[in-house]
């Protein structure tokens, strides 16, 4: 989402009928925001609780997308992962496992990293693809033995990248790095331009050429229902020109692309106003 999470964002898997690797009846779930919040060096963030897992499980949801901030998990580029953060993440994953629930680890960085008071796009002069790949390799080392990790979400909503192939190139480097230590866990690749479902074919269609040595990529799109598709919902239903099928219409280009290219897909965010 461009500016912020809605309080609850629903996940739904959209899988091409021709793909046999995905079980019939894919899981539904929610994004549990919190660990990606706050300024680095402060305590203004938190991990989801067991009570939240219990509540959403009682509603029939079984998949939980856990956003986290790269800078907090790996304070120094190419350095060790922060022991406190890893412990918190593992506690959440363990609690989910006790309840037979699945987890997506979602690096919620928009293809960027904060360095001091500045924010830098990956592979654009300061932060390299190799550095984010190093982080993901270390994350995979920590979590590859967990049976309830549904997927590694490489990057939430890349946007305003310096070239059409910029995100493709970064994603391929990360995929290669992860597969050196974990060949089995599925990898979620978000689309460019905020992972737009409606504009997927024109802006993210080339992601079909990504290569995965583990042969387990899932492509992630996002969709919101207000006029500018930002999810900010600033105006009334009529002013936003909403209609009952707006979500369906906006996701159709993504689903058509999945079917045409025999790919697996996932809608990782959609939301409604409070």
143 pLDDT more than 60: yes
Residues 108-118 pLDDT 10s: 999 999 998 89
Active-site entry in 157, 227, 238, 239: 157
CB-neighbour burial class of residue 35 (10 A; exposed 0-12, middle 13-18, buried 19+):
buried
The secondary structure element, H or E, covering residue 150 is strand 149-153
Q: Give this prediction's pTM.
A: 0.90
- Given the residues 71, 85, 95, 269, select the one marked as catalytic: 269
> Which residues contact residue 221 at a Cβ distance below 8 angstroms, ignoring those fewer than 6 apart?
14, 190, 191, 195, 196, 197, 200, 204, 251, 254, 265, 266, 267, 268
Q: What is the CATH number of the domain that holds 208?
A: 3.20.20.80
Task: For residue 177, tell me if it sits in a domain.
Answer: yes
Q: How many domains does the chain have?
A: 1
Q: Distance between CA 181 and CA 183 in Å, rounded?
A: 7
Domain that holds residue 31: 10-269
In angstroms, the CA 229 to CA 203 distance is 15
Mean pLDDT of 14-36: 63
**Non-local CB neighbours of 195 within 8 Å, separated by 6+ positions:** 156, 157, 158, 204, 220, 221, 222, 268, 269
- Give the rounded percent of residues in the chain with a pLDDT score beyond 70: 89
95 is catalytic: no
**4, part of any domain:** no
Would you say residue 201 lies in a domain?
A: yes
Taking the C-alpha atoms of residue 25 and residue 45, their distance in angstroms, rounded to an integer, is 34
Structure confidence by residue, pLDDT tens digits, 230-274: 777 888 878 878 888 988 999 999 999 999 999 999 999 988 776
Q: Would residue 227 count as lying in a domain?
A: yes
- For residue 162, tell me if it sits in a domain: yes
Active site residue 269: yes
The two three-digit tokens of residue 203, written as one number: 């802006």
> Which residues neighbour 24 within 8 Å (Cβ) at sequence distance 6 or greater?
none
Evaluated on CA atoms 178, 64, 115, 76, the torsion sign reads negative
* CA dihedral angle for residue 114, residue 157, residue 73, residue 106, rounded to 10 degrees: 170
Answer yes or no: is 213 within a domain.
yes
Determine, yes or no, domain membership for 24: yes
Q: Are 210 and 175 in contact (CB under 8 A)?
A: yes
The mean pLDDT of 41-54, rounded to a whole number, is 86
Answer yes or no: is 238 within a domain.
yes
Kind of pairing, strands 10-15 and 264-269? antiparallel
For CA atoms 8, 198, 1, 3, give the dihedral sign: negative
- Residue 233 confidence (pLDDT): 80
pLDDT in the model for residue 91: 97
Each residue of 85-135: pLDDT tens digit? 999 999 999 999 999 999 999 999 999 999 988 999 999 999 999 999 999
């Amino acid at each position: 989402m461009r500016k912020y999470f809605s309080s609850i964002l629903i996940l739904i898997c959209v899988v091409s009928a021709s793909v046999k690797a995905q079980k019939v009846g894919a899981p539904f779930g929610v994004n549990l925001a919190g660990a990606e919040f706050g300024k680095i060096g402060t305590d203004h963030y938190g991990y989801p609780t067991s009570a939240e897992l219990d509540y959403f499980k009682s509603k029939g949801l079984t998949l939980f997308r856990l956003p986290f901030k790269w800078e907090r998990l790996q304070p120094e580029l190419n350095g060790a992962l922060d022991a406190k953060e890893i412990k918190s993440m593992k506690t959440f994953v363990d609690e989910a496992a006790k309840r037979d629930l699945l987890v997506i680890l979602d690096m919620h960085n928009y293809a960027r990293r904060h360095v001091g008071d500045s924010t830098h796009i990956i592979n654009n002069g300061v932060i390299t693809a190799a550095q984010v790949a190093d982080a993901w390799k270390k994350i995979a080392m920590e979590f590859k033995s967990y049976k309830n990790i549904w997927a590694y979400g490489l990057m939430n909503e890349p946007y305003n990248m310096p070239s059409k192939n910029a995100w493709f190139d970064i994603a391929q480097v990360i995929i290669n790095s992860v597969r050196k230590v974990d060949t089995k866990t599925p990898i979620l690749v978000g689309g460019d331009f905020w992972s737009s479902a409606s504009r997927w074919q024109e802006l993210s269609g080339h992601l079909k050429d990504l290569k995965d040595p583990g042969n387990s990529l899932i492509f992630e799109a996002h969709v919101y229902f207000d006029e500018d598709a930002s999810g900010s919902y600033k105006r009334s239903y009529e002013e936003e020109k909403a209609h009952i099928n707006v979500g369906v219409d906006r996701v159709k280009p993504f689903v058509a692309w999945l079917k045409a290219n025999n790919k697996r897909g996932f809608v990782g965010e959609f939301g409604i106003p409070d």
